[in-house]
Each structure stands twice: as C-alpha cells, then as structure tokens.
Amino acid sequence: MTLKILDDRIRSVVGDSVEVEQVATGFIFTEGPVWDPRTRSLIFSDMPGDIMRRWSETHGVTTFRQPCNKANGNTWDLQGRLLTCEHGSRLTRTEDDGSITVLASHYDGKELNSPNDLTVRSDGSIYFSDPTYGRMDGFGFPREQDMDVQGVYRISPDGEVSQIADDFAQPNGIALSLDESKLFVNDTDRGHVRVFDLNADGSASCGDVWVDVTGVGDGGPDGLKIDSQDNLYTTGPGGIHVFAPDATDLGVIGIPEGIANFTWGDDDLRTLYVTASTSLYRLRVKVPGRKLV
C-alpha cells in the first residue's frame, strides 16, 4: 500500500514510504492489539469469535483466552497486568495467576454500555470509553441499553469510578499526551478527536474538538494512539492518519483492509501492528511508540 504525504514532516515520523506486510489472516474482526515485550508477542481480540489471540514470530497465532466476554481494547497496568475492555459491560484485570478481577461494570447504579478502549496514567488511573457497539449483534451481546449516555470514565487508583464526559455520540479510541496533561478521545460517529485537560487529581475539563478526521476513502476515527514524540495516530478515511502535536494531518498510511486499531511492538517499538478486519498487518516506522510495560 501507499503512504499519502500531506506534510513533509511525516517523513521523519513514518518514513518516505511504507511496506505493509500481512502476518496473519482468517479472523472475523480483529481489535485491541497490545505488545507484550516479555514474550515478544502481540495479544489481540477477535470480538465476533469471542476469542483473544496471541501472535508471535516463533509460534504464529495461538489462543490466549476463549471465551473472553467479547473482549475489545487491551493495555497493561503499572504492574504489567493485562487490562481488558469487554463488550459484556466490564473492564477487567488479569491477575498473575490467570484469574480475572472486575474493575468496573456499573456507574451510578447502571450497567456500563460496553467498555471499548482504555489508557493508563502514571498514577494508576485508568481512563476508558463506553460506546454501545457491544450491545449490537455480532460484536457483542444484543440487549437494551441501561445507561442514558455514551460516556468516558476514570477508575481512580483506589478503584472509584467517575464520569469524565457524557456527551459523546460514540466514544472510542483514547490516549494520553506524553506529559499526561491532555486526554484525547475519538468520537467515531461525529468523525473527530476531542481533547480534555487533565488536572492533578485526575479529573478532566474542557473537551473541545481537537481535529476533524477527514479524507478520501472508507473508515473513521476508531483506534487512537500517541507515539514517543507526541504524534497522534488515528484510524480515519483511507487508513491511519498521523497528526503532529499541532494538529496538522501529516499523512495517511494505507492498509488493504478496514482498520480498527493498532499498536507499536518489537524490541525497538518501531513496528506498527495493525488489526484490520480479517487480518493482522505490520509495517516499520521511524519514531517509536511508547513503552507500556
């Protein structure tokens, strides 16, 4: 595929071109990739199949967990334990012994919609998005919505769940700026990225539109990540859009299938692993991703 260059600064972030490799295929709908440097492997979700998978160069694709309550987004906590958003209305943590701890399932007495994606702050706070996709047939468990809104939430280090925002159409990908002063969240249905100011106590304010994700081709803002130089990557029309810290769209990485999410991996964190519909792809970039564990 091709790299569409909109600003020459993308050459120092991604490169002059891209070479996209399909490393595995035959899935239903891939999501939630997270790199595990301890095993040099990638964990990712296949929601409609109700299965979490692991891929490595050595062993190929193996089953990580099945069933998985229609898992979606994954990341690591500060102790290196796996955190997972489940479309069965839970956010969970996998303990060292393999047992599952539920960190959030309700807010204000109502069942969460279907936790989608998440990010962790250095104080241990967990921020996550809660759209309704997991209440749809195929991607989750069809059922009536209990919540009145599609919001964004924080789990404090002591386990308290609070609401950051309640005015999204469908919140989705979520990431922190390098200095953790900003929280970026995609609103898929409205086609834009919003940014919140984070206070020292973990609370948030503002929430203005940071950028509209526009372009030619299929796709919208779904997965969102920030690299080690504060460049923001998000899915969007035509592929993965790369935005500079000043919100300039630097260019678009084209992928052969519709993209849901991505993460950086390998020892140097310069390989971008992409979960795209039925397949897993990878490509090399110049600026590494952020170390999570």
Backbone conformation region of residue 188, classed left if phi is above 0, alpha if psi is from -120 to 50, else beta: alpha
On the question of pLDDT at 211 being above 90, the answer is yes
Are the C-beta atoms of residues 126 and 102 closer than 8 Å to each other?
no
Q: pLDDT class for 293, splitting at 50, 70, 90? A: confident
Homologous superfamily (CATH) for 3-284: TolB, C-terminal domain (2.120.10.30)
Examine the pLDDT at 32 and tell me if it is beyond 80.
yes
What per-residue string of b and e applies to 144-166 under the rule 16 or more CB within 10 Å gives b?
eeebebbbbbbbeeeeebeebbe
Q: What is the DSSP letter of 38?
A: T
Identify the CA nearest to 108 among candidates 130, 92, 86, 138.
130
pTM for the structure as a whole: 0.97
List CB contacts of 237: < 8 A, sequence separation 6 or more.
Answer: 213, 214, 215, 216, 217, 218, 219, 220, 252
- Write out pLDDT tens, residues 180-189: 999 999 999 9
- Torsion (CA) 156, 235, 29, 83 in degrees, nearest 10: -20
- Nearest Cα residue to 147 out of 119, 107, 182: 107
> 48: exposed, middle or buried (C-beta count within 10 Å: 0-12, 13-18, 19+)?
middle
pLDDT above 70 covers a percentage of the chain that reads 100
Mean pLDDT of 127-147: 96
CA gyration radius for the chain?
17
pLDDT at 203 over 80: yes
Residue-wise pLDDT for 75-124, tens only, equals 999 999 999 999 999 999 999 999 999 999 999 999 999 999 999 999 99
Question: In this model, does residue 1 exceed pLDDT 90?
Answer: no
Strand partners, 36: 41
Q: Please say if the pLDDT value at position 238 is more than 80.
A: yes
Q: What percent of the chain has pLDDT over 90?
A: 98
Give the 3-state secondary structure of residue 127: strand
Give the closest residue to 48 by CA, choosing from 66, 68, 28.
Answer: 28
